[in-house]
């Protein structure tokens, strides 16, 4: 039963060939053992000061992967929907359009990614998220890095205390023109919770991309993930958010 649950939880990662670890830092060029990849992910988490159920469950499940064979099977199925990510196309302004309100008690969240440095295989960037929380505007600052050319090599730390572990992009939308940016990105963790979907334009997303994103999230068990946390996803109604300057309206949930 535990084996089955773990496989369900990890039905979506990439094959991380062309990466090697030296002192915990992945370097392109050699294959990483699957167990080592998951260990690196867990080590990338910021252990929370308070009890954090998501961190505890992630720690338990990743440590119980057990054999390289099981880890390899899960790894080979995690990132089937995403290829090498052009980090420049991930930069810029994003609006959160799908989220779990049980994890992130916020609305009208706007995210900004700004590139610091980039090389052939690696990159690092800063992140900022601004949202409303009750009657206050809250800002979290974080960072992201790309540690290789393969899927699964982008780690995004939001800086939000609710997110002790980094998000990893598992699916991106088409590239818009003339801005040369992804239209949307689906990001998650090995528990499939929390999962968020970011979009460049809420109206365009709803008209053009919501059906394919909803199909993906439903077919691969993101809407109600196999997790003790029981934190279902919601498509957010962002039509009343003044996302460019102020956060004066409640976000609400789509029906």
Residue with tokens 């958010």: 241
Residue (of 175, 182, 169) closest to 81 by Cα position: 169
Residue (of 185, 197, 195, 253) closest to 221 by Cα position: 195
Q: Is the pLDDT score of 85 beyond 80? A: yes
User: What's the whole-number mean pLDDT along residues 7-28?
Assistant: 36
Task: Answer whether 34's CB lies under 8 Å from 71's CB.
Answer: yes
Answer yes or no: do 40 and 60 share one domain: yes
Structural domain count of the chain: 2
Choosing from 49, 76, 103, the residue where a domain stops is 76
> What's the Cα-to-Cα distance from 182 to each of 41, 94, 175, 215, 245, rounded to whole Å?
24, 10, 4, 19, 22
Answer yes or no: do 18 and 63 share one domain: yes
Answer yes or no: do 70 and 94 share one domain: no
Give the residue numbers spanning the domain of 103: 87-235
Dist. CA 228–CA 223, nearest whole Å: 14
Answer yes or no: do 222 and 124 share one domain: yes
Answer yes or no: do 97 and 200 share one domain: yes
Choosing from 32, 49, 76, the residue where a domain stops is 76
pLDDT of res. 110:
93
82: in domain: no
Residue with tokens 């998220």: 129
Give Cα 114 distance to the centre of its chain. 17
251: in domain: no
Answer yes or no: do 45 and 157 share one domain: no
pTM of the model as a whole: 0.79
User: What's the whole-number mean pLDDT along residues 55-73?
Assistant: 71
User: What's the whole-number mean pLDDT along residues 195-206?
Assistant: 94
Answer yes or no: do 98 and 147 share one domain: yes
Task: Answer whether 185's CB lies under 8 Å from 98's CB.
Answer: no
Confidence category of residue 115, pLDDT binned at 50, 70, 90: very high
Answer yes or no: do 102 and 169 share one domain: yes
190: in domain: yes
pLDDT of res. 27:
42
């Amino acid at each position: 039963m535990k084996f089955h649950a773990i496989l369900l939880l990890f039905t979506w990662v990439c094959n991380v060939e062309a990466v090697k670890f030296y002192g915990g830092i992945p370097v392109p060029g050699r294959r990483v053992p699957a167990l080592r990849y998951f260990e690196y992910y867990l080590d990338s988490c910021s252990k929370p000061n308070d009890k954090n159920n998501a961190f505890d469950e992630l720690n338990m499940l990743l440590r119980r992967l057990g054999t390289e064979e099981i880890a390899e099977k899960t790894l080979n199925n995690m990132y089937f929907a995403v290829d090498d990510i052009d980090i420049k196309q991930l930069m810029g302004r994003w609006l959160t359009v799908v989220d779990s309100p049980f994890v992130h008690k916020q609305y009208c969240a706007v995210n900004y990614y700004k590139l610091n440095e980039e090389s052939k295989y690696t990159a690092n960037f800063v992140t900022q998220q601004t949202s409303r929380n009750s009657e206050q505007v809250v800002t979290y600052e974080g960072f992201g890095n790309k540690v290789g050319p393969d899927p699964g090599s982008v780690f995004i730390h939001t800086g939000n205390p609710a997110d002790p572990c980094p998000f990893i992009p598992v699916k991106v939308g088409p590239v818009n023109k003339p801005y040369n940016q992804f239209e949307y990105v689906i990001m998650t963790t090995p528990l499939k919770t929390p999962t968020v979907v970011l979009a460049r334009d809420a109206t365009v997303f709803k008209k053009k991309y919501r059906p394919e994103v909803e199909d993906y999230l439903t077919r691969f068990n993101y809407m109600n993930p196999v997790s003790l946390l029981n934190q279902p996803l919601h498509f957010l109604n962002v039509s009343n958010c003044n996302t460019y300057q102020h956060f004066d309206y409640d976000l609400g949930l789509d029906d």
